[in-house]
Amino acid sequence: MRVKPLITNANPVPDAAHGTLSARAADELATLVGPDGTPPPAAPRRSPRRGYLMAAVACGAAVAVGAVTLLSLPGDPAGPSGHQAARSSGPAGAGEGTDGGLSADEPYFGSTAELERAAHVIVRARLGSGHEETGGGVRTTVATAKVVATAKGETPGDAIRVSYTTPGSGPETAGLSAGKEYVLLLDKGEGGDYVLVNTTQGWYEVEGGAAVAAKDNGVALSPAVRKALRLAPRGR
């Protein structure tokens, strides 16, 4: 009952009828509402155009910093193209082939151990005449080779069927010729035929009792393989 009249009659700004303010209170009140009781004028609003200009300047500065950062980045060590070629060879191989062209899929073995390990069969054989087949746009020669000696794996007899890309039919072909003797490093292909492990490294021509590698093959046969094939210790 006493609170309600107190709230109703409360006056936060005493007037002359209710008493006078102290000097300090009067100064603080004048600061808030002005000496005559009128609130001071509001601060002028900033022009929207000025705000837009300031935002544009800030964005321009950010773009300039980004451009400087990009220009300061180190260049690609792989060169302008961003790619480096890997050397290998074969009908579907990557790197340099027998004619210096490039292809994409066939590996190049960098050591004797890798090359000989990749072959399931290593034989010395005389290549016979064959016939040509075409499939998937690739011309293939299938020929019978008479096995003279074996250094690795087993063959079904003294003659095997060897399938290889017909020489001269594309940028990557083995330089094999009927009637010549070769060391052949072979995998077992589809249909029972044997295929070269690598168009460049899958064959060595036998000349004067020694194995001579193709011009793009820098890997020599091991002494153990040459001995098993009854080849001279020289040659590449």
* Residue 126 belongs to a domain: yes
* Residue 219 belongs to a domain: yes
CATH number at residue 146: 2.40.50.120
* Residue 69 belongs to a domain: no
* Residue 179 belongs to a domain: yes
Statement to judge: residues 127 and 13 lie in one domain: no
* Residue 51 belongs to a domain: no
First-to-last alpha carbon distance for the chain, in angstroms, is: 119
Statement to judge: residues 131 and 31 lie in one domain: no
- Quote the pTM value: 0.57
Statement to judge: residues 37 and 134 lie in one domain: no
Question: What are the start-end ranges of the E strands in 18-137?
Answer: 95-96, 102-103, 121-135
* 174 in Cβ contact with 98 (< 8 Å): yes
Q: CA 152, CA 82: separation in Å to the nearest integer? A: 42
Statement to judge: residues 134 and 32 lie in one domain: no
Q: CA 78, CA 191: separation in Å to the nearest integer? A: 43
* Residue 73 belongs to a domain: no
Under the banding of pLDDT at 50, 70 and 90, the label for residue 32 is: confident
Tens digit of pLDDT for each residue in 195-210? 999 999 999 999 999 9
Task: Give the chain's length.
Answer: 236
Under the banding of pLDDT at 50, 70 and 90, the label for residue 88 is: very low
82 has pLDDT over 60: no
Q: CA 165, CA 132: separation in Å to the nearest integer? A: 9
* Residue 105 belongs to a domain: yes
Statement to judge: residues 22 and 113 lie in one domain: no
Statement to judge: residues 19 and 103 lie in one domain: no
Statement to judge: residues 32 and 99 lie in one domain: no
Under the banding of pLDDT at 50, 70 and 90, the label for residue 26 is: confident
Statement to judge: residues 129 and 16 lie in one domain: no
Q: Calculate the CA dihedral of residues 70, 75, 81, 84 and round it to 10 degrees.
A: -140
224 has pLDDT over 60: yes
Number of domains in the chain: 2
Tens digit of pLDDT for each residue in 35-77? 665 655 655 554 445 555 455 545 455 544 454 444 444 443 3
Statement to judge: residues 121 and 37 lie in one domain: no
| Structure letter (DSSP) for residue 36 | T
DSSP per-residue codes, 120-170: SEEEEEEEEEEEEEEETTEEEEEEEEEEEEEEES--SSSEEEEEEEPTTSS
Statement to judge: residues 21 and 135 lie in one domain: no
Residue found under tokens 């200009």: 53
* Residue 87 belongs to a domain: no
Tens digit of pLDDT for each residue in 173-197? 899 999 999 999 999 987 889 999 9
Domain that holds residue 131: 95-228
